[in-house]
């Protein structure tokens, strides 16, 4: 557990939700726990905040129920635990699938890895040293994997920010996906230059899904536009390749 913990009650909406968001914006150096009586609404609020790049965990709490209050005492998830699970899902899962499928690609294949605009926001809050590493076009996949592992260890030790990492597990894992896509594209250009394969990372945007909640700006159909655009790039095109694309536009990394 981090040295500091912020527990916000009644935080699935209204003032409570606003307090959670402001704590995250202020880069609160600890665990932020959003509590609510309604589990469904509480989890939806957490998913929405995570899609905005904030690290928040949910715990059920009915302040009118003494037993509910006692359960909160020993059931909180640490940032280190969040980091490990999120890294396994977003970065390692993507890496493992790519290792299995990239050797099977045919000429003119298209690969689209789903990243997020949060990766760019997280990159901008990294230390200058980490930013330089993640922007290094010669960074290897092995070096990237080591960096992702170092973040999880630092998060578990509670000193990730002191080591120059952003205070977002989701955002850091998406840095990994974006940079992995650049590395994979470089590898394909080097080993299969004549095959016309294009590989990119994309941000679907803030989409109304189980993760982002009902207040997100885009419908699932609108969120599918950029990934589909990249998947259907015509034969013969050479760009975009190894880029982060959002709203069908290449983003500066």
Query: Three-state SS for 69?
Result: helix
With a cut of 70, say whether residue 73 has pLDDT above it: no
With a cut of 50, say whether residue 1 has pLDDT above it: no
With a cut of 50, say whether residue 81 has pLDDT above it: yes
**For the chain, what is the radius of gyration of the CA atoms?**
19
User: How much of the chain exceeds pLDDT 70, in percent?
Assistant: 92
The pLDDT of residue 176 is 98
Torsion sign (Cα): 10, 86, 211, 24? positive
CA distance 246 to 128: 24
Q: Which residues contact 118 (CB under 8 A, 6 or more apart)?
A: 51, 52, 53, 168, 170, 171, 174
Secondary structure tally for the chain: helices H, strands E: 11, 7
Query: Three-state SS for 199?
Result: strand
**Residue 15 C-alpha from the chain's centroid:** 26
pTM of the shown model: 0.74
The pLDDT of residue 231 is 92
- CB distance 155 to 83 below 8 Å: yes
CA distance 134 to 46: 28
Give residue-wise pLDDT tens across range 25-50: 888 877 888 989 898 999 899 989 98
**The CA-based dihedral angle spanning residues 91, 96, 100, 102, taken in that order and rounded to the nearest 10 degrees:** 30
Strand partners, 198: 110
The pLDDT of residue 7 is 86
The pLDDT of residue 189 is 96
The pLDDT of residue 213 is 64
In this predicted structure, which of 45-49, 61-65, 207-211 has the lowest mean pLDDT? 207-211
Query: Three-state SS for 174?
Result: helix
What phi, psi does 73 have (nearest 5°)? Answer: -60, -30
Query: Three-state SS for 112?
Result: strand
Tell me the mean pLDDT in the region 224-234: 90
Single out the catalytic residue among 79, 170, 206, 246.
170
Query: How far apart, in Å, are the Cα atoms of 226 and each of 188, 195, 202, 247?
Result: 22, 23, 7, 6
Mean residue pLDDT across the chain:
89
Tell me the mean pLDDT in the region 190-207: 91
Closest C-alpha among 56, 61, 59 to residue 76: 59
With a cut of 60, say whether residue 2 has pLDDT above it: no
- 3-state SS, 150-173, equals HHHHHHHHCCCCCCCCCCCHHHHH
**pLDDT band at residue 76, thresholds of 50, 70 and 90?**
low
Give residue-wise pLDDT tens across range 90-117: 999 999 999 999 998 999 999 999 999 9
58 is catalytic: no
CA distance 115 to 180: 10
User: How much of the chain exceeds pLDDT 90, in percent?
Assistant: 57
């Amino acid at each position: 557990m981090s040295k500091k913990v912020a527990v916000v009650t009644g935080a699935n909406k209204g003032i409570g939700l606003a307090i959670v968001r402001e704590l995250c914006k202020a880069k609160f150096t600890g665990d932020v726990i959003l509590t609510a009586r309604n589990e469904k609404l509480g989890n939806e609020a957490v998913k929405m905040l995570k899609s905005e790049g904030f690290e928040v965990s949910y715990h059920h709490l009915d302040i009118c129920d003494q037993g509910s209050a006692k359960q909160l005492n020993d059931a909180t998830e640490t940032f280190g635990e969040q980091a490990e699970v999120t890294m396994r899902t977003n970065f390692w899962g993507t890496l493992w699938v790519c290792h299995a499928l990239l050797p099977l690609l045919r000429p003119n294949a298209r690969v689209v890895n789903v990243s997020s605009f949060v990766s760019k926001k997280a990159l901008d809050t990294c230390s200058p040293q980490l930013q330089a590493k993640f922007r290094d076009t010669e960074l290897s996949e092995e070096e990237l994997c080591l960096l992702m592992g170092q973040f999880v260890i630092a998060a578990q030790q509670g000193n990730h920010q002191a080591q120059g990492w952003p205070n977002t597990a989701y955002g850091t894992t998406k840095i990994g996906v974006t940079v992995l896509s650049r590395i994979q594209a470089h590898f394909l250009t080097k080993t299969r230059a004549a095959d016309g394969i294009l590989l990119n990372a994309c941000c679907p945007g803030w989409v109304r899904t189980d993760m982002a909640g009902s207040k997100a700006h885009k419908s699932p159909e609108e969120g599918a536009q950029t990934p589909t655009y990249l998947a259907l790039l015509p034969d013969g095109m050479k760009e975009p390749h190894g880029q982060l694309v959002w709203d069908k536009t290449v983003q500066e990394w």
